[in-house]
Copies of this chain bind each other. A is one copy, B any other.
Amino acid sequence: MEILETAAALQALTEKWRREGRSIGLVPTMGALHEGHLQLVRTAAAQNDEVVVSIFVNPTQFNNSEDFKLYPRVPDSDAEMLRGTGCTVLFTPTVEEVYPRPTVLQFNFGALENVMEGAHRPGHFNGVATVVSKLFHLGRPHRAYFGQKDWQQVAVVRQLVQDLSFDLDLISCPTIRETDGLAMSSRNRRLSPEARAVAPRLYEALQLAAAQLQHTRQPELAQQAALDFLGAYPQIEVEYLQVADARLLQPLPAGTEPGQEAVICLAAWLGGVRLIDNVVLLLT
């Protein structure tokens, strides 16, 4: 596994690979790797000749400077974890390398980002789309891998790829969970023992909402059931809990028909740490 730190070095290498006809998988991450990331890397390694993993805590997607400052950074153990996973190149640029000058252009994804993460984190998806575009142009992937824990991010990147005709396949992979159900996340490292103990309730609430939705087809009842459940845990402060169309991300209307794919997404604070999770279900 080679470690590259400059955009020019990565571009030169991926250009060479393209010229040699080698297929390239890209796994963009912000580091503090966990098993969820490693699964993306293993999937990429199974489907491509070369795998680029980028580790870059992207300042432009943080609407909260404290969150950016506290985001975990553990480069040495990240590099260690990647050995043996099939990662060919680890790309760890500085902020100056990715943003030699401040950017001017702003992306807007309309309805897709007027809800949930987009609504609660102004500018977040502009930062995501900007850095993802840059990484696509540096890494020249045939396939790019994203985790479904960030469901809305996957939807936004899918729209980006489609609207700008990026020549690559976007591959989204299932959320990986701890044995107690907590979705793996780099931010989990920041949870206090007390917060960590209660964190699995988030996924339980989502499962409860999913069962309720499947049973009643009433999004509001599903939402309320989950909120009531979480209300019993004062350590959890829900930022949003939304039942939505899985593709369009818009709130599902009452009495939705079978065949509809729904996603239930939440964001919640636990002792100063913001976690997100979701479940997807097909109404039957």
Contact = CB atoms under 8 A, between A and B. Distances in A.
Interface string A104-135: 11111111100000000000000001100110
A122 to B, nearest CB: 14
B101 A162 contact: yes
Interface stretch (A46-54, A84-92, A163-171, A267-275): A163-171
Contacts of A133: 164-165
Contacts of A165: 7, 98, 133-134, 137-138
Interface residues of A, number: 34
Contacts of A104: 109-112, 159, 163
Contacts of A163: 103-105, 130
Contact of A130 (B21, B110, B164): B164
Contact of A137 (B110, B130, B164): B164
A12 B274 CA distance: 44
Interface in A31-45: none
A100 to B, nearest CB: 8
A248 to B, nearest CB: 10
Given A19-B20, A105-B107, 16 more contacts: A15-B167, A18-B18, A98-B165, A101-B162, A103-B163, A104-B109, A104-B112, A105-B108, A105-B110, A105-B163, A106-B110, A107-B107, A133-B164, A133-B165, A134-B165, A138-B167
